Structure 1
Amino acid sequence: MPFLPAPSRPTKLASRSRRAAPALAVAAALTLSGCGMFGGGEIKEGGTTLYPCPAVGVLNETDHVTLLSGAGTDLTDVVAKAEIGKVVSTCKYDVEESTITVDIAFNGVAEIGPAAPARALTLKTFVAVTRRFNAFDKKQVYEVPVVFEPGQRQVHFVKTVEGTILPYGGRADGSIYQILVGFQLTPEQLEYNRRTSYIPIR
């Protein structure tokens, strides 16, 4: 993944900035424009930009998953498929501690398939932090349960991850980081994504 250019030194500092929005507001932003793939928010005070938030986005090839029954590859073997839509974030700088606290949320939709043995399933997703010039700095897997009510083929979901703390210092700020989300794929699922043309859920 390409990284953003190196940031310049912020022109205005605050001893402790206030959180841009609570976690519920982050999730609510998914219904608005929000941050798109690799969008980044900014902390503002009095109309003046202070610090940028880390960029957020979806890792290539992990934006969708197809769950199959056994080793099947036919459409009739599909248990469910799911895709991630939008990712949004907000952040809070603690200048005294030289840390950034980031809240993110992402939404998506799942669709039940003909081979589903039940109407409840668990999707495995991840949130990973990358730092400029390095590989993954940290990664956490999160389970997202979805339940299809009788007669319901699709379910929309929202996942919120609060309180990711990132250090910074010197001439650096939040733009040295990217926070990437995606489905936690098995090698077989990743290979399936690479060889199969994906039709988005409508």
Structure 2
Amino acid sequence: MSASPARTVRRLACAALALPVLAACSGLSLEKETPPPCPQVRIDRMTAQAVTFQGEGRDITDMLHKVDLAGYQGDCVYEEDQVVLALVPGFTVEKGPAAGNGTADGSFQYFVAIPSYYPSPAAKEVFGVTFQFPDPVTPRMRVADAPVTLTLPRRPGESLEGLEIYLGLQLTPEQLQYNRQSGVR
């Protein structure tokens, strides 16, 4: 059974009246505006590795452990007058020959630095991490630290996309010299 011609005309008229209303609603998007990109986090290759040796020797057989900054996970949230950036750095720790056959443990430090904040104390913060290999046969393991939260001030509407933040291992002068001499990749 088909609709009467009068009923079809009324339906078309109602649909035609509804189009401008629906078109106006399309401007009211329920999707949020895309926030500006997060600040840039950089890892300098010279501070991405720390080797700890036993005694004065610098041969591979004297290595207790090697730590590599393997990367990070991060996200940021733009608020009216600040950007809150959360970073979770990840590390790979490798047991060296000098660690022996026992369960090895140790510690290292890493930093988060914002050069444009220098000379303020907020320009760099150092964090400590301890580790312990689960058993004598595990030669390498991944270690993640707790999230580091940075609260970065900004003017309303300002993007911090160009702000550079550095993440690296806090090296002793000897470790930095070793990295330079060995051509760390």
TM-score after normalising by structure 1? 0.67
Which of the two has greater strand per residue? Answer: 1
Match of 1:146 among 111, 131, 151: 131
Partner amino acid, structure 1, of 2:73: V
Considering only aligned residues, what root-mean-square deviation do their CA atoms show, in Å? 2.4
Q: CA deviation at 1:193?
A: 0.2
Query: Of 64, 67, 90, which residue of structure 1 is paired with 2:52?
Result: 67
State the alpha-carbon separation in 1 of the partners of residues 162 and 119 from structure 2: 12
What's the offset of the Cα at 1:85?
1.4
Extract unaligned runs of 5+ from structure 1: 1-44
Contact between 1:126 and 1:184, CA under 8 Å: does it hold in 2?
A: yes
Matched, 1:184 2:184: no
1:155 lines up with 2:138 in the alignment = no
TM-score for both structures, normalised by structure 2? 0.72
**Structure 1 contact 130–177 (Cα < 8 Å) conserved:** no
Number of paired residues? 152
Q: Is 1:116 aligned with 2:102?
A: no
User: Counting helix residues as a fraction of each chain, which structure ranks higher?
Assistant: 2
For 2:58 and 2:148, locate their aligned partners in 1 and report how far apart those are by CA, in whole Å: 37
Unaligned 5+ segments in structure 2 are: 1-29
Q: Which of residues 169, 175, 179 in structure 2 aligns to 1:193?
A: 179
- Comparing 115-124 with 170-179, greater Cα deviation is found at 170-179
Q: 1:52 aligns with which of 37, 42, 56?
A: 37
Identity fraction in percent = 27
- The one of 55, 71, 77 equivalent to 1:92 is 77
